[in-house]
Amino acid sequence: MQEKTKSIIITSIGIFFLVYSVISISASIIQKNPVQALYFCYIGLTLCGIGILIRNSMIVISQIYLLLIPQGIWIIDFLFHIFTGTPLWGVTNYFFLEDASALGRIISLQHFFMIPLAIYASVLIEIKKKWAWLLSFLEMTIVYFIVKSVGTPEYNVNCVFKPCLDVSLGLPYPLTWFISVAVIIFLTAIVLNLNEKTRGENGN
């Protein structure tokens, strides 16, 4: 691929992410629920957009570490609900409510394209994963305490106040939350690293 074409594609993805992010955050404010702007997926759109535009794949990878598994769970739950008419885990129930807004549904569809586009952009930029996991942990910690301070159990942004899935480690919930997110980050990092190593050994 020619460098000019590659640059246009990368920039276009970055701008698309930022525009989608602005729409998502604006919708949260318009709906008088600005704390929703603190969802990891909304933050991920913003940081991925910035990371792509400044050609810093480490920022983008840090978001993939945080979001690949949660967004995969969202997609599975969504498709199960679509094909069976019943919820699987219930994480996408809000999408199927009769009073759910059309804009809100459109915004939620970012779960389908964000990770694939982010990975594609990272490959074009040339993936640099060193310390990406540290950025993921830093974001996880900061967002947790902000949501705890300004959020409410009613909206349960990022599942900070109570489990979104029936997961219990027999520990205080805040500790369970941190362990769960940490496992998500490390599992994703391990899988992506193994996949890259396999591709390298196969000469791809």
Q: Where exactly are the structural domains of the chain?
A: 3-201
- The predicted model gives 183-194 an average pLDDT of 89
C-alpha distances (whole Å) from 125 to each of 8, 58, 61, 129 are 12, 10, 11, 12
- pLDDT at position 167 is 75
Quick check: 62 and 135 in contact, CB under 8 A? yes
Burial annotation 151-190 (CB, 10 A radius, 16+ → b, else e): beeeeebbbbbeebeeeeeeeebeeebeebbeebbeebbe
pLDDT classification of 14: cutoffs 50, 70, 90? very high
Question: What share of the chain in percent tops pLDDT 70?
Answer: 95
pTM here is: 0.90
Question: Tens digits of per-residue pLDDT, 71-98?
Answer: 999 999 999 999 999 989 999 999 999 8
- The predicted model gives 29-47 an average pLDDT of 91
Residue 11 reports pLDDT greater than 80: yes
Could you count the other beta carbons within 10 Å of the beta carbon of residue 71?
Answer: 21
